Amino acid sequence: MSRTLSQIYAQAVYTRNSYLQLTELNSGRTENKMSMMNLLTYVMAVLIHTYETMLDIFEVNIAQSIKSRVNGTPPFYVRMAQLFQYNPVTGAGDEFGFDEETLMLQYNEVNESHRIVAIAAWQPNEGNDGIILKVGKNNDSSEMVESGTLYQPLTDSEMTALKTYMDQVKFIGSKILCISLPGDIITIKCENGSAIYYNDDYITQEQALLNIQNALSEFAKDFSYNGYLYYQSVIDKLQTVENIEDLDSGIIVEVMSYDPVAGDYTEAVSIRGRYLTESGYIRFIDKNGKTTINLDNIVLKPKSSRNG
């Protein structure tokens, strides 16, 4: 960290005065900056302070550059996936190669409109043998987006181009498995007599269901990509829905994940703790495009029926 101007000036005056041969040139008091000697000393102090400040800025820039140099680490591959360019006209990735002048791998032409990977994250592969790189692109269905499903998987041709690209940028010996899956389907069920109670003094059953659907859509939008789904987080969200008064303890949260080998969703799994999503994101829309938040799964009862 650079010294202050006062510190530099005081040190310069102290050092200068230690040389007897300069004493005769100092016609004024040390505190008087109007003397020629003190004026010259002050000017030099300003120059030194400016130089030290510039070194501080340079040091910060270097530190930021070093921090951003994450070559070969999982964040590096996440960033490289986000920079991937795909040409929808040719159905292939843009031309990519080694620039002999910059000594870097880069696209021949940067085209941000061709960057299709909207979100990317990683997790260790089984046995820490490389990493799994999860990617997704923005959902092109406004209805799905409105329902909270912000992302969708890449197409087969897009994934083929992405894998070819990652093979080019990865370091020798690195193992990277790229996946892009449909979102994990979340279903909330009221079973064994359990129910969700709404305030029938203010809203109807239909309005209560709509409030729940909207709240869970926001929950899906705010869900951290590649994050864990917590049972209690879903319950907490339900409890904050406007005019929802109470929930029975038997509320069930089920998850269905997509199996790329079988080409279909797995059987629903009931969770009580946390669950690492396979796709990296969640949806309250089933595989037929219908909302899972409906009266077939959720039992809504007016609070007056409970009080009675």
Reference 133, options 92, 190, 73; nearest CA is 73
On the question of pLDDT at 20 being above 70, the answer is: no
Q: What's the pLDDT at 52?
A: 78
On the question of pLDDT at 2 being above 90, the answer is: no
pLDDT tier for residue 5 given thresholds of 50, 70 and 90: confident
pLDDT tier for residue 163 given thresholds of 50, 70 and 90: very high
Q: What is the mean pLDDT of residues 256-269?
A: 94
pLDDT, tens only, 101-123: 766 778 888 999 999 999 999 99
pTM above 0.85, yes or no: no
Rounded to 10 deg, the angle between the 231-239 and 205-222 helix axes is 140
In this structure, of 63-72, 135-144, 157-166, the range with the lowest mean pLDDT score is 63-72
Q: What's the pLDDT at 152?
A: 96
In our burial notation (b when 16+ CB lie closer than 10 A, e otherwise), range 171-208 reads: eeeeebebbbbbbbbbbbbbeeebbbbbebeebeeeeb
Q: Which residue has the higher pLDDT, 197 or 127?
A: 197
pLDDT, tens only, 81-91: 999 999 999 99
In this structure, of 29-33, 46-50, 280-284, 300-304, the range with the lowest mean pLDDT score is 29-33
Q: What's the pLDDT at 10?
A: 79
pLDDT, tens only, 201-228: 999 999 999 999 999 999 999 999 999 9
Phi, psi of 90 (to 5 degrees): -85, -20
CA angle 118, 121, 123 (to 5 degrees): 160
28 with 37: CB under 8 angstroms?
yes
Report how far residue 14's alpha carbon sits from residue 61's, in angstroms, rounded to the nearest whole number.
33
58 burial via Cβ count (<10 Å: 0-12, 13-18, 19+): exposed
pLDDT, tens only, 174-207: 899 999 999 999 999 999 889 999 999 999 999 9
Q: What's the pLDDT at 244?
A: 95
